[in-house]
Amino acid sequence: MNTKEKTDKYVFNTYGRIQKVFVKGQGATLWDEEGNTYTDFLAGIAVCSLGHSHPEVAKTVAEQAATLTHVSNLYYTAPQADLAEKLVTSSFADRAFFANSGAEANEAAIKLARRYFNKKGQPDRVKIISMSRSFHGRTMATLSATGQDKIKDGFAPLVDGFIHIPFNDIDALKANMDHTVCAVMMEPIQGEGGVVPADPEYIKAVRALCDREGILLIFDEVQTGMGRCGRLFAHEIYGVTPDIMTLAKALANGLPMGAMLATQEAATGFALGSHATTFGGTPLVAAAALTVFSIISQPAFLQDVVEKGQYFKKQLSSLQATHPHIKAVRGEGLLVGMEIDGEAGKIVEECLKKGFIINAIQGNILRFAPPLIISHEEIDALVAVLDSLLA
């Protein structure tokens, strides 16, 4: 049996896989088992932000693996301490909790918000308001938080206490606010939901309303964080900070890692023994994340993401003049979506044949999340292919 046959026979068939077997990656280029090359405009869904097989990350991982991989959070380890310091001192937050995925980081955020009010003597404040078309993960609590029905199909009873409201609609938020709500949870820019940015006035009004009600604001930056949107964290674009933020995808450039960051005040919701995980912040992934952070957090690196993102959006928008199928081009930095009035999956297939990996979401939206090291030439080459395909 070959790789495809084995996978289809032995692995749960929960993924709609594209018919390619990849064997190697370097920068923004991937190789399949037949030796064909592809330019990767998805980066493992906004994960491999420094590109595949980044030499410094590879070196860090190899050295750390040969030094100390894991000892449990019963003990102190330097990479975790150093990473927490970096994340905290470069953000609104005072404390970090390390997990292994985006869903787990969001689980930690949900638990923290509930326990914060429980310990403050407000045990009725348990509800979390989240947004329609949001995506927060696939564990029971995070799929309950997620605002997309297809992800919940067959899993009832869901975790209680989640209210979904339309995104970018402050009146809907006001209408659902009462003394039983402990937090609002949202992505500053919805990723899986279609690359939909929050309106600047909306996100400011959400912050103000949370302050007025004395409840917590959670930003899920699992997809938008770590430089993806041209700032270290996407909420910096809006000048609004949350009380709790979650990160994951790009944290360790492909090694599994999540983080939940919180202000000192919100962090009081957890005490000794409140939450734990075996693998979270293990020296191996934390060391990789430190190397990633040292590169991505450089102002010149982030400025380059902003510049290339603007260039990419400008080139895509310029296609609109000749291709009426394109309905909108949006996003921040190098998280870009293009809405078309046709089937996005068809374009994804055709792009693959021409050697470009892109992604379709919500049926009619093309998502681009290339490695942040993508070049102008690679952007031009993809735009030329899209130009020919959309004709």
Ligand X SMILES: *Cc1c(COP(=O)(O)O)cnc(C)c1O
Site residues, ligand X (CB under 6 A) = 101-103, 106, 135-137, 187, 191-192, 220, 222-223, 248-249
Q: What are phi and psi of 291, to 5 degrees?
A: -65, -45
- 66, 151, 230, 321 from 163: Cα distances, Å: 47, 16, 31, 41
Q: Is 246:260 a contact under the CB 8 Å cutoff?
A: yes
142 appears as a binding residue in the annotation: no
The nearest distance, CB 321 to ligand X, in angstroms, is 32
Minimum CB–partner distance for residue 218 and ligand X (Å): 11
Tell me if 306 is assigned to a ligand binding site.
no
Specify the residue, 268 or 362, whose C-beta has the smaller distance to ligand X: 362
b/e per residue 350-367 (b: at least 16 CB within 10 A):
bbbeeebbbbbbbebbbb
Closest distance of CB 33 from ligand X, Å? 26
Whether residue 135 is annotated as binding a ligand: the answer is yes
- Residues 129 and 112: beta-carbon distance below 8 Å: no
In the bound state, the residue with its beta carbon closest to ligand X is 102
Q: Give 79 or 137: the residue with its C-beta nearer to ligand X.
A: 137
User: Least separation, in Å, of the C-beta of 94 and ligand X?
Assistant: 22
155 annotated as belonging to a binding site for a ligand: no
Q: Which residues contact 95 (CB under 8 A, 6 or more apart)?
A: 84, 88, 261, 262, 264, 267
Q: How far is the CB of 220 from ligand X (least distance, A)?
A: 5
First vs last C-alpha separation in the chain? 40
- The nearer residue to ligand X, 111 or 323, going by C-beta atoms, is 111
Query: Which tokens belong to 146?
Result: 């997620």
Q: How far is the CB of 93 from ligand X (least distance, A)?
A: 18
| The residue type at 306 | V
| 223 is annotated as contributing to ligand binding | yes
Q: Which is nearer to ligand X, 127 or 136 (CB)?
A: 136
Nearer to ligand X, 119 or 133 (CB): 133
Region class of 356: left (phi > 0), else alpha (psi between -120 and 50), else beta? beta
DSSP letter at 244 equals E
Please tell me whether 220 is known to bind a ligand.
yes
Whether omega for the bond prior to residue 157 falls within 30 degrees of 0, making it cis, is: yes
Output 220 or 339, the one with its CB closest to ligand X. Answer: 220
Residues contributing to the annotated binding site for pyridoxal 5'-phosphate = 102-103, 135, 220-223, 278
Residues contributing to the annotated binding site for N(2)-acetyl-L-ornithine = 138, 277
Residues contributing to the annotated binding site = 102-103, 135, 138, 220-223, 277-278
